[in-house]
Structure 1
């Protein structure tokens, strides 16, 4: 994440309006949105990768799936793959991502993607973004979420996407 990131401003369908927004310039205008994308990486053992946010970030030391904002002229899918690599060092081809669903937030359109990998690759976290990363069961994700250990924006995201996510994770098991 950098304060010089520039995002496309979109309408509620995710279509760019032609306006741009720089991170750090306050919120996206009311009634407009930007794309936030996240990846739930599923190992061949059926476990998923979670990351612990770095102490200097918003929602410090809270768990999440790797996530971030799509940049100007970048699709949600490409943004998700880029953020995953930046935060964890894991490289996934954007075309290998499958959309779990979208949550309409106050000023963001949040897309959750799923990616499958062989084994459990060792993540190499970017210390400015991620304090730690680990492979856990989906039951452990639910336990941490319900215990308030996930960053608070994930509450509404999981409320809306949990059943679909659990089905998708289970497909590869």
Structure 2
């Protein structure tokens, strides 16, 4: 197993940052929260922050990450974190990783999930973590509306 870590960044408004995978990646042009594999010797938290910075140019403090939960997948342990950030800063996506990014409500995340436009692995992740995700988003920064 290796660790895949993801951050659901929560702006002051309660909206969250979603990213659209680049066309050249696996699951091309599918939505997700910024995510990727932790490097050897890197904690899930540190990997989540590195991936967030690499994919969006945005940074938060290690201590700001709050664990939503872990999903045991076929080849990975997937950890989902939430973190607050002031305002809704404009991301600067790495074009090799991310084609676009946008701030949306959790209702919009749920709508896109059910519409099938998220990268396929997110279906099982959301099935297991959705209720806790909604609670954690409300706890760290907003009401998700």
TM-score bin, normalised by smaller chain: over 0.9
User: Alignment RMSD, CA only?
Assistant: 0.6
Alpha-carbon distance in structure 2 between the residues aligned to 1:97 and 1:167: 14
Task: Confirm whether residue 82 of structure 1 aligns to residue 50 of structure 2.
Answer: yes
Aligned residues: 141
Partner of 2:9: 41
Where structure 1 has 5 or more consecutive residues not aligned to the other structure, the ranges are: 1-32
RCO higher in 1 or 2 (8 Å CA, sep ≥ 6)? Answer: 2
Distance 1:99 1:62 in 2: 24
| 1:116 and 2:84 correspond | yes
Task: Give the corresponding residue for 1:96.
Answer: 64
- Which runs of 5 or more structure 2 residues have no equivalent in the other structure? none
Larger helix percent: 2
Distance between the aligned counterparts of 2:53 and 2:109, measured in 1? Answer: 21
Equivalent position SS for 2:13: coil
Deviation string, structure 1 residues 102-146 (Cα, Å, up to 9, x no partner): 000001000000000110000000000000000000000000000
Structure 2 length-normalised TM: 0.96
CA distance in 1, matches of 2:62, 2:51: 11
Counterpart of 2:137 in structure 1 is 169
Q: Mapping of 1:4-83 within 5 angstroms? A: 33-83=1-51
After superposing on structure 2, the runs of 4+ consecutive aligned residues of structure 1 that deviate more than 3 Å are: none
Computing the radius of gyration over CA atoms, which structure comes out larger, 1 or 2? 1
Q: CA deviation at 1:147?
A: 0.2
Q: Corresponding residue for 1:8? A: none
Distance in 2 (CA, whole Å) between partners of 1:94 and 1:80 is: 9
Aligned to 1:144: 112
TM-score (ref. length: structure 1): 0.81
